[in-house]
Structure 1
Amino acid sequence: MNSVLLHLLSYTGLVVALAAMARRVQVYLSTPLHLRWELYPVAHEGGKRAGYGGSYLEEVDWWTKPRHTNIFNEIKAMALEILFLRGVWEHNRSLWYRSFPFHFGLYLVLAWLALLVIGAFLQMFGFDPAGDGALATLLRVKTTFCGVFGFLLTMIGSAGLFFRRYLDEDLRNYSSSADFFNLALIFVTMLTAFCSYIFEDHGFFQARAYVHSLLTFDFAELGGVLFGVQVLLGAVLMAYIPLTHMAHFFTKYFFYHDIRWNDTPNVRGETYDQQISEVLGYKLNWNAPHIKAEGKKTWAQVATEETKDND
Structure 2
Amino acid sequence: MNTSLGTGPLQLQTVIPPLPNPPIPTLAHRGTPRRWENIRDRGQYLQNRVGHYLEIHPNGTIKGNLGEKTMYGIIMLISYVTNSTHGQKPKDTIAIKGVVSNLFLCMDNRSHIYASRNVTPDCAFSEGFIHNYNVYYHASHKEKRKKFYLGIERDGRMKPGLYARNSQSMSQFLPVQVPPQSMYRAKQESARLSRTGIMKLVGRNTKTPDPAKKRKNERRRRRRRWCSKLQKIYKNQEKYQGRCKRFCDLLDEMIKNYSKHKKRCERARKRRRKQSNKRRHRRRHRAKRHDHSKRGRRKEGRRQRTKRKLREYRDRKQQTELRLSLELTTKPLLQTDR
TM value normalised by structure 2: 0.20
Larger relative contact order, structure 1 or 2 (CA cutoff 8 Å, min sep 6): 1
Which protein is bigger by CA-based radius of gyration? 2
Query: Where is the helix percentage greater, Structure 1 or Structure 2?
Result: 1
TM value normalised by structure 1: 0.21
